[in-house]
């Protein structure tokens, strides 16, 4: 090359303008012929690169070129669309970008997707220039003078620092004529159109992403550990995304593969703690407190009460569903139990005495922490607000007919529980024996009842222990003589009676009890 420069300089000394082409031809004739070894030594790295490129291109052509395409030589090169990684984006917008550079505005909730391919940067060295297939509409030929290239219609030539840039106004095959008389065919292929719409780009932990894809070729996804499930034509569900930033890359696997990438931010799994204070003494004093290192917007229990501090007070014992709202309006749920401490429940049952209408028996059934063990519990019995007994059980005879409030108060430590009943005392004024002896001696041979007053109606029924009716009367002076159906003698033993009546004050009277039949 140094000899060529020296001879060319000598030949051009007398020219003030561009010399004719014959001058260059004479110079070339006078240049010593370079051996193959010289050329190989000077351009060994270029030859290695060219051989590798031809091998790769041949493999690609076998995959992508259809069998009936005979107009393109086997040495054609497919230059694939490759661009740098997409820039990071954290803020969702409403712009949808397709791989062919077209944009549209979908629903307001659709986030912006990052366009990986706007215009592929296809380059080839002039020494390797041959019939070529280009994905895109531009090609830069490096190391060539723009004046030595003539393009067919439909191509624009632009001189650049490294050579010449060729751009196509229409996809298809175009011819480049070189000044040395050679020509090459360049086929510009339109990249696959790929439009992608994601449901959102900010997800909660464990949330699934829905992606709508419009493409004519099969779709492949980058392997970043997430799972892809095809729901239907053009709709996919992505699950298993990691916390933090996830880069999603889709490729339309056509002849000219198109790619679209976007980032999905997944919130961290909520790490929280829940503490409770037990409900004490059956009062509304239980508490739940939720803490987390994440920023909690608010908490809700049982779908109702809301707390922005995460603290709930005045709770009864029981099970609560806690809803925690945190980053990006994410929601986590937890189940919390508020226990009961010293749960005291006072209660009793009352029974009228069998022989005295004004006498009652009160039996205590108070429980502490669901146990009948109440050794450390103190009791008070009140009648109409006045303390009348501190015993565990309580027997009491009322002074007269009327309504009375009987209340039981149970206390242990700071806990107190109260239970009360209204007792309606109605005296029947009946005089009823508890034994009779139908043995024919003339003493107590009949079950005789007396009433001090006037009755408007009266009904007496007597039963065996098995519940069999042995005597019935609606007349106060009709006494039982100890016989069944007026003939058979009843066996010795205990019998039950039920008396219902109405006195002259129109008061309903009921009296139940037992009577023993003895024949000795």
What does the alpha-carbon distance between residue 188 and residue 172 come to, in Å, rounded to a whole number?
5
Query: Do residues 494 and 516 touch, judged by C-beta distance below 8 A?
Result: yes
pLDDT value for 406: 97
pLDDT value for 69: 33
16 or 150, higher pLDDT:
150
Residue extent(s) of CATH 2.60.40.10 domains in the chain: 272-341, 344-425
pLDDT confidence band for 10 (50 / 70 / 90): low
pLDDT value for 514: 92
User: Mind listing the pLDDT tens digit for each residue in 76-102?
Assistant: 223 333 233 333 333 332 223 333 333
User: Mind listing the pLDDT tens digit for each residue in 241-255?
Assistant: 999 999 999 888 877
User: Mind listing the pLDDT tens digit for each residue in 106-144?
Assistant: 333 444 554 444 445 688 887 788 888 888 888 898 888
pLDDT value for 103: 31
What does the alpha-carbon distance between residue 83 and residue 80 come to, in Å, rounded to a whole number?
10
What does the alpha-carbon distance between residue 126 and residue 160 come to, in Å, rounded to a whole number?
14
Based on the number of CB atoms within 10 Å of its own CB, is 209 exposed (0-12), middle (13-18) or buried (19 or more)?
Answer: buried
Q: Domain 272-341, CATH 2.60.40.10 — does that match?
A: yes
Q: Is the pLDDT of residue 278 over 60?
A: yes
User: Mind listing the pLDDT tens digit for each residue in 214-242?
Assistant: 988 888 898 778 999 999 988 999 999 99
Query: Do residues 303 and 271 touch, judged by C-beta distance below 8 A?
Result: no
Pairing of strands 272-277, 286-292: antiparallel
| Over residues 497-517, mean pLDDT | 89
Counting residues of the chain whose pLDDT is more than 70, the rounded percentage is 76
323 or 40, higher pLDDT:
323
Residue extent(s) of CATH 2.60.40.1220 domains in the chain: 430-517
Q: Would you give the distance in Å from CA 129 to the centre of its chain?
A: 58
Residue 29 contacts by C-beta under 8 Å, 6 or more apart in sequence? none
Domain at 430-517, CATH class: mainly beta
Residue 428 contacts by C-beta under 8 Å, 6 or more apart in sequence? 357, 451, 499, 501, 509, 510, 511
What are the distances in angstroms from CA 209 to CA 220, 236, 268? 16, 8, 16
Q: Is the pLDDT of residue 212 over 90?
A: yes
Q: Domain 344-425, CATH 2.60.40.10 — does that match?
A: yes
């Amino acid at each position: 090359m140094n000899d060529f420069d020296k001879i060319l300089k000598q030949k051009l000394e007398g020219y003030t303008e561009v010399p004719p082409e014959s001058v260059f031809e004479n110079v070339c004739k006078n240049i010593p012929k370079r051996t193959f070894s010289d050329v190989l030594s000077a351009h060994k790295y270029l030859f290695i690169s060219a051989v590798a490129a031809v091998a790769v291109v041949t493999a690609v052509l076998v995959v992508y070129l259809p069998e009936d395409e005979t107009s393109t030589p086997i040495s054609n090169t497919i230059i694939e669309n490759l661009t740098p990684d997409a820039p990071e984006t954290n803020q969702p917008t409403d712009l949808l970008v397709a791989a062919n550079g077209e944009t549209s505005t979908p629903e307001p909730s659709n986030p912006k997707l990052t366009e990986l391919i706007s215009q592929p940067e296809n380059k080839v060295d002039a020494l390797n220039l041959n019939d070529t297939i280009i994905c895109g509409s531009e090609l830069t030929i490096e190391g060539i003078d723009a004046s030595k290239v003539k393009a067919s219609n439909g191509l624009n030539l632009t001189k650049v620092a490294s050579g010449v840039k060729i751009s196509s106004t229409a996809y298809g095959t175009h011819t480049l004529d070189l000044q040395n008389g050679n020509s090459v065919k360049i086929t510009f292929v339109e990249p696959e159109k790929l439009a992608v719409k994601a449901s959102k780009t900010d997800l909660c932990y464990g949330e699934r992403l829905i992606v709508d894809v419009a493409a004519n070729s099969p779709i492949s996804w980058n392997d970043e550990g997430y799972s892809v499930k095809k729901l239907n034509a053009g709709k996919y569900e992505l699950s298993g995304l990691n916390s933090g930033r996830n880069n999603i890359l889709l490729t339309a696997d056509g002849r000219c593969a198109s790619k679209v990438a976007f980032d999905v931010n997944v919130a961290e799994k909520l790490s929280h703690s829940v503490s409770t204070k037990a409900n004490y003494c059956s009062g509304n004093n239980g508490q739940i407190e939720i803490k987390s290192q994440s920023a909690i917007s608010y908490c809700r229990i049982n779908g109702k009460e809301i707390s922005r501090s995460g603290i709930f007070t005045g709770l009864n014992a029981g099970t609560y569903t806690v809803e925690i709202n945190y980053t990006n309006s994410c929601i986590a749920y937890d189940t919390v139990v508020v226990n009961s401490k010293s749960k005291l429940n006072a209660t009793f049952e009352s029974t009228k005495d069998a022989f005295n209408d004004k006498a009652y028996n009160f039996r205590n059934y108070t429980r502490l922490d669901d146990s009948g063990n109440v050794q450390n519990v103190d009791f008070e019995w009140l009648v109409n607000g006045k303390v009348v007994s501190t015993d565990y059980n309580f027997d009491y005879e009322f002074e007269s007919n009327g309504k009375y409030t009987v209340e039981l108060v149970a206390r242990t430590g700071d806990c107190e529980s109260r239970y009360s009943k209204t007792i309606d005392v109605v005296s029947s004024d009946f005089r009823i024996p508890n034994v009779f002896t139908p043995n024919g001696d003339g003493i107590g041979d009949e079950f005789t009842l007396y009433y001090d007053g006037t009755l408007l109606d009266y009904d007496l029924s007597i039963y065996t222990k098995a519940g069999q009716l042995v005597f019935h009367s609606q007349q106060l002076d009709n006494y039982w003589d100890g016989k069944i159906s007026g003939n058979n003698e009843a066996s010795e033993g205990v019998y039950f009676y039920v008396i219902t009546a109405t006195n002259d004050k129109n008061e309903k009277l009921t009296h139940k009890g037992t009577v023993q039949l003895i024949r000795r």
